[in-house]
Structure 1
Amino acid sequence: MSESGKQSESQQQLAAAEAQAKERFEKAMTELREGAYRFSSRARGQSELIIEELIDPDGDTVHSLAEVEGDVGALALGQSLELITFDTWLFGQIGDKDELDLKNEDHWEVWFTFGAWIAETMRRRHGGHWLMMGDDPHTWRIGFSKIFLEIAPFVFAEQLLRMGSGATKKMVTEIERIRQLHEDQEDDNGRALDKFVAQHYIRLHTVPLGQWMSMDFARLAKLWNEEPTAKLIEAIKESGPRLGPQNMQIVEQVVAAISRANQEQPIAKQTTDRGLFEAIAQIVALRRATAPVAIDILERVVMPAMHVGLPEKFPPLDEDDLGNLRKGIELFAFFVEVVPHKFQADDEGFLGTIPHEQLTTPYADRNVLEIGKGDWVVVNPTHFIPMLNEYDPEKLLEKYDEFVAYLKTIPDAPNRRDDGRMLAETAIRALVDLKQTVGVAAQSNDALLFRLLPPPG
């Protein structure tokens, strides 16, 4: 087959896939709209409630909850009759069953229509985008247009249906909280801009995350390579609780796994399992870790921002720069791109800035690192110290504001609103986090590690 024939076939396959995806989305949207209508109609017909009035910020229910906030006794007396009625009606839909059973068709219908009503009511009220990553409604999300917030309405609906008494209060309170978050974004005329599109939320589920960690590798090496496995288990049991109850199951699984090993020999002589090594390292050696950041933001914005320093003046813009502005490049990304860097970055290096000689492997059994597959990499923390010692988040933000003002003085530059502020604040928070983690590593003579995490589910 010719190259053009292959291309034509692939284009047809792509077009067919897009058509199928569009058809699935439109079908789901129809089911959501119809489900929301069925739920509202059933509630009105069976309980004589207009449930939209429950979440009306000017209505009695929201007003009564706001008045008695924090007073448990008053709350019991202050709940509106409509709220109590809806609670009673909602759980009457479960019938004579003890709890929600989504394998039961009637229960599934209640759950789906309830979730659809919550979702579509909020989407119509505030504006937003549906993200449907699969066929299971549990995975469906709404990302709002005016604030960067994503909700999982069907997960929320299931939680409400399983919690019993008080579910309606929780629903109304949460919906009102989100309304107030939107209200905070409004100007003096009661209007707010649509800032976020579907792509902002798709990124949350498709872009890997980067994270820095400071680890006591001296302790880890002794426990892994020298101490008998029994001693390692003692250390894991001692350190495990500091990770919190949500991680105790992992700690128990690690203990169970190495309990089958020879307790008198070091674990390093019995296995080279990378996953086990990493799990144990996080339990017994982790001192501090940064919040994960999308890897493209880290490479494109955070690391360059660290190298910019605090510029005293801004460069003139050439035609390519003006062209990028006209194409809509985010202004903070533009700032770190065009402002000369005080600290030289290695464009061919790790994360586009770090020379390869500053990297080592944490693994005894491999020289080749596959970071894209989750391998950790050790980075010399002293590489960052000159840059981070000078780093001042407030001053960098001030310099960015000055840069935005500078752009307005250039006659040929397009008149752009500051769409980079959120990105600037994200990068600045990430650098504060990195500075603290590097500081811990340098002060304690720890290893500074980087790892790539999969996108959130």
Structure 2
Amino acid sequence: MAFPAPPHVQSAQAQVAAALQQVEGKPVDLLTVPWTEVETSIPKLLGGAFNPNDPNHQGLALGLAGALAERLGKEHNAFWFVNRDSPEGASLGFPEVPIVLSPFGEVMNALVSGKLARLDEVAAGIRRTLGEARFGAAGNRPKLGPAEYQRMVDPGFMQFLVVDPAKAQKALDTKPDALARDIREALGRANQLPAEVRQQFEGQVVAVLQQMDATKTLAQQVEVAPRIAELMIHLYASQGNTGAAQNEFWGQLILPLLFIGAPQSFPPVDEEEVGAFNQGVPALELFVDVVPHAVQAPEDGLLGAFDRSEVGLVHPSFERAGVQRFLKLKTDRLKPLLEQFDANQMVDAVRRFTKYMEEKAGKGAPPNPQNEEMLKAATVLLTDLKRAVTETKGELCLRQITEADAMSEQVVAVVRQALNAPRIILA
């Protein structure tokens, strides 16, 4: 494959192959043997029927998922890509047509139904779709790779929103056809957007709303299109928001800076930390690693800033949505820190820490443009968060989005403005 299977999938696949060899008394090639033959060996491996809630049985499914992915890789050049929404932590993509497949999910469904041959049906469906694409317009499209799929699918970015709960409830209580009409009209008023951008937004959002059950409210069918439901809350109920940044940037750098504050002195550093500084590790990263928090942060929780008791659903209907990517947060711990936050003081503290490290290293800091970029981004995002929490009324929420979503945030802002702008009605 162009992108190898995750290590835990490779390990599970090797364990299943070894277990099959042991029970059958001969090697079993999981890449060529018919799935119907594999199915006859499963009761021997498990000592009975498949139980989807048994971790050992899930391990079997993960191993078979690796084999399914490898078969599809050999036949169609399929590849793994990072996808945090998937149970495996990765999904399978195809270069010719945007197809996202969870091999683990397909194997679990087949094992639960007691018909592993369903995997042949999955493969046949993919074969048919790719065959049609080769003879259609899709055949002229640029090939897709793991990076393109990850940008489209993996929720690797986060942004904070302040949501008006009454407006969120109203949007969720609305039927999707009404939302579709409303958004289409807003797109018509958003003249600053190029026509192709408006058309793309309509195809990605309005078209999905129109395909939903028009007799039910959005809240009654959140599980059908949870990402669209999240977007409706953002469009109709957001009162303020931060920019989007990678999950790791928020959790490992930005929020720790808030808990550290702007110390006047710094703790002793050891040879390892001085060595890292000399080797070009950004001073900002060392600042976060070395300097203790001025205020205690939760030891275990979301982003190292929110205790589990401080995290909830943005709306009860999202209980049916599966993976939760839109969360409501309590701000009792964060709000005092944000009220005291001063961007200039934080930057000054990092600058003083850099000089402190230069003194310990006996030489100046190596040139590192990345350090300045990270410091600027952290300053902007923390200022955004302070403004959202301290100056805007509503509930603080956290939204996990894809890189493609993050890149389209300016378009969403224009549509949101058009939705909320006063409308002139001529009598």
The Cα shift of 1:297 comes to 2.1
What are the Cα deviations for residues 74-126 of structure 1, in whole angstroms up to 9, with x where unaligned?
A: xxxxxxxxxxxxxxxxxxxxxxxxxxxxx9xxxxxxxxxxxxxxxxxxxxxxx
Say yes or no: does 1:290 pair with 2:242: yes
Deviation at 1:360, TM superposition (A): 0.8
Asked whether the equivalents of residues 171 and 233 of structure 2 are also in contact (C-alpha less than 8 Å), the reply is: no
2:343 aligned to which of 393, 398, 401: 393
Give the direction of change, closer, same or farther, for the CA distance of 1:446–1:231 in structure 2 (3 Å limit). Answer: farther
> What's the counterpart of residue 330 of structure 2?
380
Letter in 2 for 1:304: P
Matched, 1:451 2:400: yes
Task: Say whether 1:409 aligns with 2:331.
Answer: no
Pairwise mapping of residues 172-321 of structure 1 onto structure 2 (< 5 A)?
Answer: 208-225=156-173, 227=174, 232=179, 236=183, 241=189, 245=193, 246-247=197-198, 249-251=200-202, 254-259=205-210, 266-269=217-220, 272-273=223-224, 274-321=226-273
Indicate if the aligned counterparts of 1:215 and 1:446 stay in contact, CA closer than 8 A. yes
Hey, what does 1:439 align to over in structure 2? 390
Amino acid at match of 2:351: D
1:364 aligns with 2:339: no
Contact residue 291 and residue 433 of structure 1 kept, 8 A = yes
Change (3 A) 1:414 1:437: same
Instruction: Give secondary structure in 2 for the equivalent of 1:340.
Output: coil
Hey, what's the Cα distance between the residues in 1 that align with 2:183 and 2:155? 32
C-alpha distance 261-324 of structure 1, shift in aligned 2 (>3 A): closer
Work out which structure has the larger RCO, using CA pairs closer than 8 Å and 6 or more positions apart in sequence.
2
CA contact (8 A) 1:376 1:449 kept: yes
- Counterpart of 2:302 in structure 1 is 350
Distance 2:302 2:292 in 1: 20
How big is the shift at 1:304? 0.9
Cα contact 1:358–1:379 (8 A) shared by 2: yes
* Cα distance change of structure 1 residues 242 and 439 upon mapping to structure 2, 3 Å threshold: farther
Deviations along 1:250-305, one digit per CA (max 9) or x if unpaired, are: 35764455456676653433553213312322332233332221222222211111
Root mean square deviation, CA, Å:
4.4
For 2:289 and 2:322, the matched residues in 1 are separated by 28
The SS at the match of 1:282 is helix
Corresponding residue for 1:422?
373
* Contact 1:209 1:454 (8 Å CA) reproduced: yes
Aligned-pair distance for 1:423? Answer: 2.0
Q: Which amino acid aligns with 1:436?
A: R
TM-score, normalised via structure 1 length: 0.48
Q: C-alpha distance in 2, partners of 1:251/1:206? A: 22
Say whether the 8 Å CA contact 1:209–1:295 is kept in structure 2.
Answer: yes
Q: CA deviation at 1:333?
A: 0.7
CA distances 1:322-369 after superposition (whole Å, capped 9, x unpaired): 343344321111112211211222242211232111111225345498
Q: What percentage of aligned pairs have identical amino acids? A: 20
The offset of 1:436, in angstroms, is 2.1
What is the deviation of 1:230?
6.4
Q: Distance in 1 between matches of 2:232 and 2:346?
A: 38
Partners of 2:286 and 2:396 in 1: CA distance: 33
2:263 aligned counterpart, secondary structure: coil
**Partners in 2 of 1:417 and 1:223 — Cα distance?**
52
State how far apart, in whole Å, the 2-side matches of 1:358 and 1:248 are: 39
8 Å CA contact 1:223–1:231 kept in 2: the answer is no
Equivalent position amino acid for 1:222 in 2: K
Once residues 320 and 327 of structure 1 are traced to their aligned partners in structure 2, the CA distance between those partners, rounded to angstroms, is 10
Question: Contact 2:389–2:396 (CA<8 Å) still a contact in 1?
Answer: no
